[in-house]
Chain A
Amino acid sequence: MEYFFELFLGGLTRGSIYALIALGYTMVYGIVQLINFAHGEIYMIGAFTALIVISVLTMMGWNQIAILLIAAGVAVIYSSAYGYTMEKIAYKPLRQAPRLSALISAIGMSLFLQNYVLLAQTSDFLPFPGLIPDFEFMEPYAHIIGSPELVIIITTTIVMISLTFLIKFTKIGKAMRATAQDRDMAMLVGVDVNRVISMTFIIGSATAAIGGVLIASHIGQINFYIGFIAGIKAFVAAVLGGIGSIPGAVLGSLILGWTESFFTGYISSDYEDVFAFIFLVVILIFRPAGILGRSTAEKV
């Protein structure tokens, strides 16, 4: 029973990590129906920016909590700026183009950003300092779950709740929903669609940056490629939950995390990913729009 519980918590952590990236994916998809392949790269850039800030500040001898907060802040600002710029360059000119063109553009952007960081920085793995201290009250449970895991789970919950709130109750949230439903109609009733889309990219990228800092400090190392691997899994999770839906992204991520954890724990990690993908296929066969996705009836 304890083994089960440990696997459950492991899956919860893994799922929360996926969720932090999947949230941005699903938001962008919800508004512009674009698989933003470069979203993982934004997450990677957030982590790299944070690492640079941390290194510089550590050299200047600042205290750890201050460094953590400043690094996270700078990472969020920079990731948002990259997300914003990326949208303006690679996606905005393609609004009227076929959707596949936008996907290819996103793939190009993803390749560009990966290699930009590779060339400007390094291809090696760089150690990322563990920023989250081990809390004392957690010590008795250390063999089950660590402090960084706990922080990640809590952060994911907070981010999910605030995003849901943002979309449900704020003015920009309303504008987002309107744009998602019908872009032309939203424009007619006075929604500044360009601004809404920019905001979506900024918010999505900001969540990716938060994810980047937390996950990098949990794993302890980064390189230019981490965004791609994590991005694919997060994408799968978002689709599993029903792409475009915020709670769906979190649910999908958690289910994916648990699936992988239990499969590894009770059967074999050799076929962990195979099983995860088969599971996805089976879910989509029975619910073709994901678990929480609404399947829209075809308008004729």
Chain B
Amino acid sequence: MLVNELKKSFLISLWFMFLTFPIMVIRVNTVENIIQWRWANLFFVGIGSFVLSALWRYLIRRKEQGIKKTEVDGVARVTLSQRLLRERRFTIPALIVIAIVALAFPFVFSLYQTNIMITALIYVLLGLGLNIVVGVAGLLDLGYAAFYLVGAYSYALLNYHFGFGFWTVLGLGAGMAALFGIILGFPVLRLRGDYLAIVTLGFGEIIRLIMENWNEFSFGPSGIANIPRPGFFGVEMNFEQVTVYVYFLMIALSLFTIFVVNRLQNSRIGRAWIALREDEVACQAMGIDKRKTKLMAFALGATWAGFAGVVFAAKTTFINPASFTLWESINILCVVVLGGMGSIVGVIVGAFILILLPEYLRFLSEYRILAFGTVLVLMMVFRPGGIVETVRRTYQYEEADH
């Protein structure tokens, strides 16, 4: 048994040594015509893949056993996270602790920590918004950054031309984003699956490219600088105070979002979305207006991106189209999928992990994105449902005691 395992690992490490040989061992520089041979790397790859392959097979086997076990038992596996979420005696103290930490955070931690926390909260908003479209209604959207852009540019441009303040635009920006959500929604009503994905991708790119090219309107690729930070009844604040202020603003906005999204999911329209995701035809047969339901999903999803965009513009004080590329959309999608599609807690956890992880991985510096890619793959392989899997709402009846 052990010999067999060792043999397998050995073969795999040989395979990886072969696979990585040209790229890891030989480094070419065709500018200066230098070839460097780094044989030590081959050795590291060999050792590394030997160990990792054994670990990999062990984990895969465990995962498969888990699946088999559920099949035999006939009951859906309830994971630890789900159980914790259900237990009231756990959730209430947990919520209190979270509330205390959230309130004390900017006063305990450094400015930098507060700042990245604001970024993470912006992604909570974005993630929850996209979750409506992708997680709940099942419409794969690869152009979500476009709505984020609409929000950010609404604030920047309205402020630049007409001197509108942050609070005025917060609503307007969200409205604009919702409008764009509907504009996108109309042509894609008939599309599904990956065709929908590519059209939304195209839509996102169109909006960004227009911003990049139309200098007269958007100041082109050099962007808009000196966007004012949010004000508070005309009180002058220094950078530190503004950061703390924006932090609490984001906390409030996040709470509002969580509240609204939670209500939405349990509402009539929320159930219509879930029905639409599960089976479009059956859903129509039940008398649900497919057109209206889909448009609502796009519009409501986009609204949050609008909010997030306005805050983003106010926080960074500088925006340009390069911040809203396809990678941005993919990043937000990763928040949703990694956290657990359809689950509000999951999306929040996903946003924190995805935004804070690269920041805390700064010590890895150049290996950061490599590590990020690896984490994405591993997460999906070992927890395809995301960190917090959604529990389907089911009605249980308790059998009477005999």
Given that A55-B28, A98-B341, A235-B198 are contacting pairs, would A104 and B380 also be in contact in the complex, using a CB cutoff of 8 Å?
A: yes
Do the beta carbons of B281 and A300 come within 8 Å of each other? yes
Do the beta carbons of B191 and A284 come within 8 Å of each other? yes
Contacts of B251 in A (CB 8 A): none
Measured CB to CB, the nearest residue on chain A to B198 is A239
Contacts of A101 in B (CB 8 A): 337, 380, 384-385
Do the beta carbons of A108 and B191 come within 8 Å of each other? no
Contacts of A290 in B (CB 8 A): 195
- Please report whether the interface of chain B is mostly helix, strand, loop or mixed according to DSSP: helix
Cβ 8 A contact of B376, one of A105, A118, A274: A105
Given that A51-B30, A81-B19, A115-B370 are contacting pairs, would A104 and B338 also be in contact in the complex, using a CB cutoff of 8 Å?
A: yes
Given that A52-B28, A93-B381, A288-B191 are contacting pairs, would A59 and B35 also be in contact in the complex, using a CB cutoff of 8 Å?
A: yes
Do the beta carbons of A117 and B23 come within 8 Å of each other? yes
Do the beta carbons of A85 and B281 come within 8 Å of each other? no
CA distance A33 to B192 in the complex (A): 13
Do the beta carbons of A107 and B197 come within 8 Å of each other? no
Instruction: Judge if B345 is at the interface, Cβ distance under 8 Å.
Output: no
Instruction: Judge if B359 is at the interface, Cβ distance under 8 Å.
Output: no
CA distance A111 to B354 in the complex (A): 14
CA distance A197 to B7 in the complex (A): 25
A286 nearest CB across to chain B (Å): 10
Instruction: Judge if A116 is at the interface, Cβ distance under 8 Å.
Output: yes
By size class, the interface of chain B is 35 or more
Instruction: Judge if A121 is at the interface, Cβ distance under 8 Å.
Output: yes
Instruction: Judge if A188 is at the interface, Cβ distance under 8 Å.
Output: no
Given that A112-B374, A280-B199 are contacting pairs, would A53 and B31 also be in contact in the complex, using a CB cutoff of 8 Å?
A: no
Interface string of B367-394 (1 = CB under 8 A from A): 1011011111101110011000000000
Measured CB to CB, the nearest residue on chain B to A90 is B377
Instruction: Judge if A19 is at the interface, Cβ distance under 8 Å.
Output: no
CA distance A232 to B334 in the complex (A): 18
Do the beta carbons of A298 and B194 come within 8 Å of each other? no
Instruction: Judge if B205 is at the interface, Cβ distance under 8 Å.
Output: yes
Instruction: Judge if A172 is at the interface, Cβ distance under 8 Å.
Output: no
Cβ 8 A contact of A274, one of B206, B326, B380: B206
Do the beta carbons of B30 and A126 come within 8 Å of each other? yes
Contacts of B31 in A (CB 8 A): 124, 126-127
Interface string of B256-293 (1 = CB under 8 A from A): 00000000000000000000000011100000000000
CA distance A111 to B327 in the complex (A): 11
B144 nearest CB across to chain A (Å): 14
B272 nearest CB across to chain A (Å): 18
Instruction: Judge if B213 is at the interface, Cβ distance under 8 Å.
Output: yes
Measured CB to CB, the nearest residue on chain B to A285 is B187
Measured CB to CB, the nearest residue on chain B to A37 is B330
Instruction: Judge if A56 is at the interface, Cβ distance under 8 Å.
Output: yes
B195 nearest CB across to chain A (Å): 6
Instruction: Judge if A198 is at the interface, Cβ distance under 8 Å.
Output: no
Cβ 8 A contact of A271, one of B201, B213, B381: B213
Instruction: Judge if B54 is at the interface, Cβ distance under 8 Å.
Output: no
Do the beta carbons of A277 and B385 come within 8 Å of each other? no
Given that A94-B384, A108-B377 are contacting pairs, would A280 and B198 also be in contact in the complex, using a CB cutoff of 8 Å?
A: yes
Given that A98-B384, A104-B337, A107-B330 are contacting pairs, would A121 and B190 also be in contact in the complex, using a CB cutoff of 8 Å?
A: no
Do the beta carbons of B213 and A102 come within 8 Å of each other? no
B270 nearest CB across to chain A (Å): 19
Instruction: Judge if B140 is at the interface, Cβ distance under 8 Å.
Output: yes
Instruction: Judge if B366 is at the interface, Cβ distance under 8 Å.
Output: yes
Per CB-CB distance, the 9 closest pairs between chain A and chain B, nearest first, are A108-B376, A111-B373, A112-B373, A97-B384, A277-B202, A105-B380, A108-B377, A115-B370, A101-B384
Which residues of A does B touch, CB under 8 Å? 29, 33, 35, 45, 48-49, 51-53, 55-56, 59, 74, 78, 81-82, 85, 89-90, 93-94, 96-98, 100-105, 107-122, 124, 126-129, 232, 235-236, 239, 243, 270-271, 273-274, 277-278, 280-281, 284-285, 288-290, 298, 300
Q: Can you name 13 extra interface pairs (CB under 8 A) apart from A51-B28, A281-B203?
A: A49-B22, A56-B28, A59-B35, A74-B22, A81-B19, A85-B19, A98-B384, A100-B134, A104-B334, A104-B337, A107-B376, A108-B375, A298-B281
